[in-house]
Amino acid sequence: MKKTKLGIFAIAIALFSACSDSHDDECHECHIAFDGPNGEIEVPINNSAGGEEFCGAELEEAEGADFSYTLTEDYIAGADTVPAGTYTEIHCEEHAH
Amino acid sequence: MKKSILLLFVMMITFSINAQIRGVVIDKDSIPIVDVEILIPDYDIQFYTNYLGEFSVDIGITNGSHLYLYKDGYESKISQYKDDTELVIILDDLHVDIDEISVTASYNILGNSKVTNIQNISIKDVFLNSNSMLESVTELSGVDIISSGSGIQKVVVRGLSGMRVVTYLNGMQINNQQWANDHGIGFTDLGLDKVELIKGSSALRYGSESIGGLLYFKDHPFVKLEGSKGFIASKFNSNSYLSSNQFGLKWNRNNLFFNIHGEYSISSDYRLPNNQYLFNSRFKQNAIKFSIAHKKNNLQNIFRYQLHNESPGIPGHVHGDPSTVELTKILSSYIDFNTDFKITRPNQFVTNQLFIYESNYFTDNSKISLYLGHFRNNLQEYEKWTQPAFNLTLSNTLINPNIKYLYNNSTIELGSQFSILNNVNNINQRLVPDASSINIGPYAIFNYEKDNLGVNLGIRYDYKKLKSIDNTVNNNKIFDIDYSKSFSNPSFSSGLYYKFKDHITRISYSGAYRSPHFSELFSNGVHHGTNRYEIGDDDLLIENANQIDLKYQWSNEHLGFVINPFIQHITNFISINPTDSFSGVYRIYNYIQYELVEIKGVEMNIHYHPHLLHNLHIEQSYSFLNTKNKDDSYGLALTPANSIKTKLLLDLNEYDKLSKYKINNLSVYHIHKFHQNSFAQYEEFTDSYDVINLQLGGKLNSKLEYNFLIHNLFNEEYTPHISRLRGVAGGVPNPGRSISINLKYNF
């Protein structure tokens, strides 16, 4: 019986140790959210090093209200075109796959 | 001589302090009944009969204390303890096995169930027997849930939900930011024993604001066993790859009692009938709770603590009008086991802590209680990875002194609730402002019961002061609030019960009020969880509700029948309605008030137990609801469709040939939902549908129980009218077929 009780407490500790609500997330891809005639168009953007993912402070900056991204040339998405220009509506959340 | 007198005196004192409760429980043929649960409700202490049907415990309770006896298959009974008396209690066989149909005794925390319409169901095995606690509660007529999978679920009682359906846990009101449908109930079935439900405004003792109803969840009682007992349980669900694990331990030594429970659950996105997955319907949660009770002479002290963390995803999130989005945009075609259990955005982080201290003093005719509770909720809602859209801490402190006095056939309760509530934003960005309220609510309740007649009368007066000062500037928007207002109103309840042979009739009339919530008064911002921009109205008035509820029941050994019509009028009904305007991509919704709303309906239950097939039970419940908005031609939002719920339960214990397969019971549950053509302006017609669930359960040995469940057996594609995602992409279907294996090991 004592071994059983010890076992239970060990499991309990393991369970609660296994679950941590980490608010420190990894890196994520971001995109311009363009409101096109046929719905939202996602235009992938690059980080300052030219990579696809934004991390840490750079991610926080990209999600900030003052962040803007400049497309130097038009982006073609199927039958839609996102014109070159500066955009402030930046999203970094994942989507269904 | 003097020594003898002294010895006798000492023995008497010792006996009165350490009085034994002893007796035997037998059936009508004088055969002892083993493992009968005997509960002393006032003390929340439970013990069991042994293999001889006997019980003998040293607890020391006051003369006249009630004992509640329960064993599956037998009629429950309430007996009274008398000093120095060995009890002999006979339990009759129970054929018609629903509390509200069989005329069995029941104890209820919410009041006298003969004169007040109280339903209660056991949820102590809901982890083993059901998909989720709230899905189990919906088997009651008139009860539904608003949900988006198992991660976020809220109860609807007779068409009312949110702040109109108040939830209590072990005597403490749970404020889990329930003003929005994407905020769940705030706890799980961990360590819970039963739930009591009052529909409508009759729950006077626990507040006036429960005009839709009150759900009271209660923990397992403490167990007198001079040692310990416990369990480990685990379940797996194939639809969302849910894995959930629980443990529980109860320990007792003399007059000290200790219970501890823990849980950890993780789930991925749920699978629709078309084999696609609703992206971000995943969740993760863990909880731990413990309770300590000590009893010394006539004084009992109880301390409880509970910590609950959850991280539900918010599925169906879109930028723009959710009704126009294509369903495929929010569905995944496959599950990626590396990523689809992980938290993504948008999501919530919810932390709830509950502290309770109770002190009870007992005399032969009274119970004097002091209850102190503190509930703390932190809700963070994230759309972005790095910055929450809002971060709220809501704390609620409750002080509740209460005296219950028994005199002849009457019970009088006098008490008061003092409640202090604080809502604080932890960041600049906010949807609702900082606010606080103080509520004082004295009450008096009188119950009289003798022979075949019972009467209930109750009155309560609430004074509430709501204050909000918030001048936060964020993103060029100013929260310019300087508000202070008092609300006060009496509430009342009255009931009459009469029993004539096998016919029982109960009628009750009650009235309550609800003051506007700060979210309804002051909201001003985007609520990502609902895809809308919400604006409050600080001129909102008190809602007033009046309800008449009539219940008639009849039963014999094989058939039971209950019919329960009701009608409720609510004036100044607060609602939230869309406008034609947008803030960015989000449609603007305004809080408004309707002059008069009428809610009426009828609920019926039938239980049939064939004489020729004694181990078959057929139960059917009917819920018909009609809501009318007297202000316009539309109906009321989120009105559940009418329904018929049918359950066939076959007890297989009597079939020896099946016993080798370790199958003890088989049940089939069918729910038919009628179409819903009464809806609010921004809602749509919803088709009817049928869902069938199958369950097979048994014991592999004396300690190990199992249940094998198939939900939505025929993979029906349906979206309930009150689904949280009914207005998204034309309606996101509920989960498709799921198979669950649930195990519980008792030791």
On the question of pLDDT at A67 being above 80, the answer is: yes
Asked whether residue B99 carries a pLDDT value surpassing 70, the answer given is: no
Distance between CA atoms of B259 and B290, rounded to whole angstroms? 5
State the DSSP code for B3: H
Verify whether the Cβ–Cβ distance B249 to A97 is below 8 Å: no
Contact B710/B737 with Cβ under 8 angstroms?
yes
Residue among A8, A63, A91 minimizing CB distance to B386: A63
Query: Quick check: B12 pLDDT over 50?
Result: no
Please report the pLDDT score of residue A9 as a whole number: 59
Q: Do A95 and B279 touch (CB under 8 A)?
A: yes
Closest CA to B424 of B394, B396, B381, B397: B394
Rounded CA-CA distance B377/B617 in Å is: 42
Is the CB of residue B669 less than 8 Å from the CB of residue B692? Answer: yes
pLDDT in tens, B165-205: 999 999 999 988 877 777 888 899 999 999 999 888 777 88
Compute CA B618 distance to the chain's CA centroid, rounded to the nearest angstrom. Answer: 25
The rounded distance, in Å, linking the Cα atoms of B163 and B178 is: 6
- Strand-pairing partners, residue B379, are B350, B392
Instruction: Note whether A93 contacts B344, CB cutoff 8 Å.
Output: yes
Q: Output the pLDDT for position B6.
A: 43
Which residues 6+ apart lie within 8 Å of B408 measured at CB? Answer: none
| Residue B103 banded pLDDT, cuts 50, 70, 90 | very low
8 A C-beta contact, residue B120 and residue B195: yes
pLDDT of residue B150: 76
Q: Are strands A90-91 and A31-36 parallel, antiparallel or unpaired?
A: antiparallel
Query: Is the entire prediction scored with pTM above 0.90?
Result: yes
CB nearest to B249's CB, from A8, A25, A39: A8
Percentage of chain B with pLDDT > 70? Answer: 95
State the nearest Cα–Cα gap between B469 and chain A, in angstroms: 26
What is the distance, to the nearest Å, from the Cα of residue B348 to the centroid of all Cα atoms in its chain? Answer: 22
| Distance from C-alpha of B546 to C-alpha of A70, rounded to nearest angstrom | 61
CATH number for B118-746 (one of 2.60.40.10, 3.30.1360.70, 2.40.170.20, 3.40.190.10): it is 2.40.170.20
pLDDT of residue B210: 87
Q: Do A60 and B245 touch (CB under 8 A)?
A: no
User: Does the CA dihedral B320-B326-B328-B331 come out positive or negative?
Assistant: positive
Give B133-168 pLDDT, tens digit per residue: 988 898 888 999 988 777 788 899 999 988 899 999
Chain B interface residues (partner A, CB cutoff 8 A): 227-228, 230, 232, 245, 247, 249, 262-264, 266, 277, 279-280, 284, 286, 288, 309, 311, 319-320, 325-326, 328-334, 336, 343-346, 349, 383-387, 475, 585, 747
B636 vs B730: CA distance, rounded Å? 19
Q: Which candidate in A3, A11, A16 is best for mutational testing of the B interface (most B CBs within 10 A)?
A: A16
**Site from B306, B352, B386 to mutate, A interface, most A CB atoms within 10 angstroms:** B386
pLDDT tens readout for residues B222-247 = 999 878 999 999 999 999 999 999 99
How far is residue B378's CA from residue B385's CA, in Å, rounded to a whole number? Answer: 18
Q: Which of A29-43, B637-651, B683-697 has the lowest mean pLDDT?
A: A29-43
According to the model, what pLDDT value does residue B17 have?
A: 41
Q: Residue A3's pLDDT is what? A: 60
- Report the C-alpha gap between B301 and B293 in whole angstroms: 6
Output the CA torsion sign for B196, B201, B202, B204.
positive
pLDDT the model gives residue B386:
92
Beta strands in B408-523 (DSSP E): 410-425, 435-450, 453-470, 473-474, 477-478, 481-500, 503-514
**Which pLDDT value is given to residue B738?**
96
The first and second tokens of residue B590, run together, are 């305004």
User: For chain A, what's the residue count?
Assistant: 97
- Model confidence at A15, pLDDT cuts 50, 70, 90, reads low
Whether residue B486 contacts residue B462, with contact meaning beta carbons closer than 8 Å, is answered with no
Query: Is the bond leading into B433 cis (omega within 30 degrees of zero)?
Result: no
pLDDT of residue A16: 55
Contact B383 A93 (CB under 8 A): yes
Residue B451 makes CB contacts below 8 A (sequence gap 6+) with none
* Closest Cβ opposite residue B264 in set A19, A39, A96: A19
Indicate the pLDDT class of residue B655, thresholds 50, 70 and 90: confident
Nearest CA in chain B to A57: B386
pLDDT of residue B32: 94
The yes/no answer to whether this complex scores an ipTM above 0.90 is no
* The length of chain B, given as a count of residues: 747
Shortest CA gap B351–chain A (Å): 10
Query: What confidence category does residue B9 fall into, taking pLDDT thresholds of 50, 70 and 90?
Result: very low
Q: How far apart are CA B662 and CA B697, in angstroms?
A: 8
**What pLDDT digit, counting tens, does each position of B379-428 carry?**
999 989 998 988 999 999 999 999 999 988 899 999 999 999 999 999 98
Q: Would you list which residues of chain A are within 8 Å, Cβ to Cβ, of chain B?
A: 1, 4-5, 8, 11-12, 15-16, 18-19, 21-23, 25, 28, 33, 35, 39-40, 59-60, 63-65, 91-97
Q: Which residue has the higher pLDDT, A23 or B701?
A: B701
| Per-residue pLDDT tens over the stretch B298-329 | 999 999 999 999 999 999 888 777 888 889 88
Q: Which residues of A touch B336 (CB under 8 A)?
A: 97
pLDDT (0 to 100) of residue B100: 43
CA distance A94 to chain B (A): 7
DSSP one-letter string for B258-291: EEEEEEEEEE-PPBPTTS-EETT--EEEEEEEEE
Q: Which two three-digit tokens encode residue A62?
A: 């990209």
Contact B385 A12 (CB under 8 A): no
Q: What is the structure's pLDDT at A37?
A: 79
| Closest of A19, A13, A4, A14 to residue B231, by C-alpha | A4
Cβ-in-10-Å burial (0-12, 13-18, 19+) of B725 comes to buried
Higher pLDDT, B378 or A21: B378
The residue ranges of every structural domain in chain B are 2-90, 118-746
**Does residue B163 contact residue B517 with C-beta atoms inside 8 Å?**
yes
Decide: B521 and B539 in contact? Cβ < 8 Å. Answer: no
pLDDT tops 80 at residue B597: yes
Answer yes or no: do A21 and B349 touch at CB < 8 A. yes
Asked if residue B356 has pLDDT above 90, the reply is yes
Q: Do B320 and A35 touch (CB under 8 A)?
A: yes
* pLDDT value of residue B131: 85
C-beta neighbour count of B471 within 10 angstroms: 11
pLDDT top residue among B581 and A4: B581
Give φ, ψ of B127 to 5 degrees. Answer: -60, -40
Binned at pLDDT 50, 70 and 90, residue A41 comes out as confident
Eight-class DSSP state of B676: B
- Segment B342-369 shows an average pLDDT of 94
* Phi, psi values for residue B603, rounded to 5°: -120, 140
- pLDDT, position B101: 42
* pLDDT, position A19: 47
A72: distance to nearest CA of chain B, Å? 25
Report the distance separating Cα B23 and Cα B34, nearest Å.
Answer: 13
Rounded CA-CA distance B197/B145 in Å is: 14
Q: Is the pLDDT of residue A23 over 70?
A: no
Q: Inter-chain contact B230–A59, Cβ cutoff 8 Å? A: no
User: Do A5 and B475 make contact, defined as CB atoms within 8 angstroms?
Assistant: no
Give me the pLDDT at residue B586, please. Answer: 82
Query: What is the rounded distance in angstroms from the CA atom of residue B162 to the CA atom of residue B636?
Result: 14
Other beta carbons within 10 angstroms of residue B561's beta carbon come to 16
pLDDT category of residue A6 using cuts at 50, 70 and 90: low
What pLDDT sits at residue A80?
Answer: 87
φ, ψ of residue B584 to 5 degrees: the values are 65, -125
* CATH number for the segment(s) B2-90: 2.60.40.1120
Token reading at B464: 């509430």
pLDDT over threshold 70, residue A8: no
Side chain identity, residue B177: Q
Per DSSP, which regions of B149-226 are E strands? Answer: 153-157, 165-169, 172-173, 192-199, 213-219, 222-223
Q: What is the pLDDT of residue B661?
A: 82
Size of interface A-B (CB pairs under 8 A): 90
| Burial class of residue B624 (count of CB atoms within 10 Å of its CB; 0-12, 13-18, 19+) | middle
CA distance B477 to B470: 12
Write the single-letter amino acid at B146. I
Contact between A58 and B351 (Cβ < 8 Å): no
- Which residues are paired to B513 by β-bridges? B544
In the predicted structure, residue B14 carries a pLDDT above the cut 50? no
pLDDT tens digits, B598-641: 999 999 999 988 877 778 889 999 999 999 988 888 888 889 99
Q: What is the pLDDT of residue B268?
A: 96
- Report the distance separating Cα B154 and Cα B722, nearest Å: 10
pLDDT at B8: 41
Chain B hits for A18, CB-CB cut-off 8 Å, are 264
